[in-house]
Amino acid sequence: MDNSDEISALTDERLTELLRRGEESAFNALADRYKPMTENAVKRFAPSFSEMDGESVWGEDDLRQCAALALYRAAMTYDPRIRGKDVRFGLYAKICVNNALISELRRAKSAVRRKRRRLEQEKAERKRNESSRRDPLEQAVSSESAETLAASIRSVLAPTERDVFDCYLKGMSVEQIAGTLGRDRKSVSNALYRMKVKIKGLLQNNL
């Protein structure tokens, strides 16, 4: 029987002792021996990792690496004299592998939640910025409470401004308003500016 066969025939306890002494081939024997256990753990956890709210997280190869590291740590820390004869290495290794995958799953879920919150915050910030940049006249016209605000808006406008406002609500351009009201373009533009200032203040108090 060659050396690899001899190592493979050793007990779990003996293999962990050899590994702690620097015999890396001992871990290869343990990895082969417990491959069914680690593969089963990977298959059980893979669905939870593969998709989280549309987010690709970890693949099976990533989980195999995690399971292998957990098995290695289990072999390095296992001591039957401390664990007690009732705790076999196989049970100890299974617990370590499962705990490692559970910890990674929690970290992955936490990362997805943080990313989702960040995206929601960025979306809300963009919406606030877009809202603050909107023309106050457009904001009033597009608001669901436009009809309710109509009376209040008219109350803060001068008679000439109300005429311009009525034309604006009909979708007229500055040139069209000027032609309809018989005024020059500059006076219409000035009236629109004054209206925007007044309506902006009104919206800030009511929206």
Q: What is the pLDDT of residues 132-151, one digit of tens each?
A: 555 555 655 555 455 666 67
Amino acid at 173: S
Reduced to 3 states (helix: H, G, I; strand: E, B; else coil), residue 160 is helix
Residue 158 pLDDT grade (very low, low, confident, very high; cuts 50, 70, 90) = confident
Instruction: List the beta bridge partners of residue 56.
Output: 51
Rounded to an integer, the average pLDDT of 91-114 is 90
The rounded distance, in Å, linking the Cα atoms of 181 and 179 is 6
The whole-number pLDDT of residue 150 equals 67
The whole-number pLDDT of residue 84 equals 57
The whole-number pLDDT of residue 102 equals 93
All domains in the chain, ordered by first residue: 3-131 (1.10.1740.10), 134-206 (1.10.10)
- % of the chain exceeding 70 in pLDDT: 79
The whole-number pLDDT of residue 1 equals 36
> pLDDT tens for residues 69-89?
999 999 999 977 765 566 789
Identify whether the C-beta of residue 29 lies closer than 8 Å to the C-beta of residue 89. Answer: no
The rounded distance, in Å, linking the Cα atoms of 92 and 94 is 6
pLDDT of residue 120 exceeding 80, the answer is yes
- The whole-model pTM stands at 0.55
